[in-house]
Each structure stands twice: as C-alpha cells, then as structure tokens.
Amino acid sequence: MTTIAFIGLGIMGSPMAVHLQKAGFDVIGINRTPEKTAALVEAGGRAAGSIAEAVPDADIVALMVPDSPDVVQVLREDGVLDHARPGTLVIDFSSIRPDIAAELAAEAEEKGLRMLDAPVSGGEPGAINATLSIMVGGAAADFEAAADVFAAVGKTIVHVGPSGAGQTVKAANQLIVAVNMEALAEAIVFLEAYGVDLPAAVEVLGGGLAGSAVLNQKAGKMLDRNFDPGFRIDLHHKDLGIVTAAAREAGVAVPAGALAAQLMGSARANGDGGLDHSGLYRGVARLSGIHHER
C-alpha cells in the first residue's frame, strides 16, 4: 500500500486527504492544529504529531499550506528535506512563488527526492467534490507517477512544464480571476445606478461573450451583498503579489492585473480582507460614493 504523509489539513487539505484515504491510499495527516486531523482519522486515516514522525514512513509527501514561507518552513526547518527517504515524491498543492517552487525542487533533487508543484483551482467546493483543476510543474515521469493521487482529488489535470510552471499558470489564473471579478463588480454597480432589472441583466450577460465562471458563481453574491468566503481577499491579495512580481521579473506589463492588485489591496485596507473576493464589489461601490451595510 502506498503511504502518503499529508501536511496541512485546512479547508482545502482536509477534504483532499480524505479523498486520498478513500481512494485506497494509507494517509497520515500532520497539522499545526491537531484537531484538524479528525475528518481524516474518521475516514480511516492516521494522525501524526510531527513531520519527523510521519515522513520517514511515507512514499509520497503532499503539502497544502497557505504561502511561500510556510512551504519553505515545512521543507527546510527539521522538515521534509531532512526526514524523507531518498526517492520520495513530494507534491506541493500550495500556491506559492514560481521561483521558490523551482528552487525548492532543485534542493529536493539534491537530496534524492522528486518534487512536483501542483497548485489547484476550484476552491472549497472543488476540494470537497474532488473536481479541482490541477496545474502541474516538474518532470513528466513524476507527473505520471502521481496520476492516481491527482485523479483522487481533481478533474482537469494538466502537466504544463518544468518545476515552477504549475505555479506560473496558477499565478496567471489568479490574475484572470481578479480582473474578471473587478469587471463584473464595475458592471453591476453601473447597472444598479441605472436601475435596470439586475437578475434579467445578469441572465442576458451570461448568455453572450461576457459570460464567465466568475459571473456564474459570483454575480449572485454581489446582488445579495453576501460576501461570506469562499476564497478570501487576503489570500487573493497574496497571489496578486506573486503574479505582479513574476511579471515584473520577466519584463511583462500587466496593467489590468496591477490595477486589480491595487484594488484588492484597497479592499484589505478598508477591512474587507476576510471577505470572499467577490467583495471587490464593495470597493467599486465605495469609489462611487455608495456605502452598503456589511
């Protein structure tokens, strides 16, 4: 039986670990807050107290943690790079900086490990329903070796290039989502100002070239002023820092992406960081002198 050490059992990681256990893997969960291993243990998995305890027994180590420094810590500080057996496959599902992903993969290779960056899109519903989109960077042989792991948690699973490429595509994904969200928010505030029939307008907009996954999933939240997350502005702000820095590094101009990054930062500055990213609507309303109740 293949043993997976799964580090980071949060909103995304917990249902992913449960799907892997149910798919026939032997999953050992490790989390800073030990109570979060409960769902995995209930599904027949195991819980471990530390990386040092769980990782030496694992054939595969999976990570799902919030940000680049978290991945660095989990790998380097009495972490996965010290405790994994040679040949272990490390799959990082976190969304982090592409350059750091490539650097860590090289470091893992020096230790005789194999590493894939495999950030996901689809949010909590995607994790719960095992329908995540997974964009994978690393060696083709390692991508193939991980096929059963990806199939247990995702639906659209694509190898996009060498180490870091998965994170690069995720960065582009977050740029598109943020800009499409801002466009939708501006359109809805504009239409509300003119008093058109909003549900009818959203229906007809969704039927043409203005249609999008963002419109389908988020227009209703904007019309209802319901910004419960979902995916938090704080995290999307982190991701826009990654994409604008990576674009700058490559000498690529991303004016709409940079604007969205500024407006996402403004949303945080106005105390909306804990809201769903559809809360960009509140920023457009504020800019237009419209102040809704939270």
Site for its own copies in 165-194 (CB under 8 A): 165, 168-169, 171-173, 175-177, 179-180, 182-184, 186-191, 193-194
139 binds its own copies (CB under 8 A): no
Is 5 a binding residue for its own copies by CB under 8 A? The answer is no
Residue 68 to residue 146: CA distance in whole angstroms: 22
Two tokens, residue 144: 């193939």
Among 48, 64, 243, 264, binds its own copies (CB under 8 A): 243
Residue 102: which residues within 8 A CB-CB, separation 6 or more? Answer: 137, 162, 163, 164
Which tokens sit at 47? 């819980």
CA dist 181 and 280 (Å) reads 7
Q: How far is the CB of 188 from its own copies (least distance, A)?
A: 8
Please say whether the beta carbons of 29 and 47 come within 8 A. Answer: yes
Amino acid at 282: R
* Contact string (CB under 8 A) for its own copies, positions 201-240, x = contact: x-xxx-xxxxxxxxx-x-----------------------
Tell me the sheet residues that pair with 132: 154
- Identify the DSSP state of 97: -
Q: Please tell me the distance from the alpha carbon of residue 19 to that of residue 44, in angstroms, as a whole number.
A: 11
Strand partners, 30: 7
Residues 274-293 that bind its own copies (CB under 8 A): 284, 287-289
Q: What tokens were used for 221?
A: 């939240």
Which is nearer to its own copies, 56 or 196 (by Cβ)? 196
Q: Pick the closer one to its own copies by CB: 82 or 186.
A: 186
Of positions 122, 138, 241, 279, contacts its own copies by CB under 8 A: 122
Chain position carrying tokens 């420094």 = 69
Q: Does 144 bind its own copies (CB under 8 A)?
A: no
Q: How many residues does the chain have?
A: 294
CB under 8 A: which stretch of 16-24, 46-54, 60-68, 117-125 binds its own copies? 117-125
Active site (catalytic) residues: 170
Q: Under a CB-based contact definition with an 8 Å cutoff, are residues 114 and 124 in contact?
A: no
- Asked whether position 95 contacts its own copies by CB under 8 A, the answer is no
Told to check if 260 binds its own copies by CB under 8 A, we report yes
Q: Does 133 bind its own copies (CB under 8 A)?
A: yes
One of 46, 111, 155, 225 touching its own copies (CB under 8 A):
155
For residue 127, the minimal CB distance to its own copies (Å) is: 12
Among 109, 148, 197, 228, binds its own copies (CB under 8 A): 197
Residues 247, 224: Cα–Cα separation, whole Å: 35
Smallest gap from residue 18 Cβ to its own copies (A): 21
Q: Alpha-carbon torsion 16, 125, 133, 95, what sign?
A: negative
Q: Which of 195, 224, 291, 292 binds its own copies (CB under 8 A)?
A: 195
- Work out whether 123 is an interface residue with its own copies (CB under 8 A): yes
**Least distance between its own copies and beta carbon 75 (Å):** 22
SS3 136: strand
CB-nearer residue toward its own copies: 32 or 290: 290
SS3 45: coil
Q: Which of 87, 224, 253, 293 forms a contact with its own copies (CB under 8 A)?
A: 253
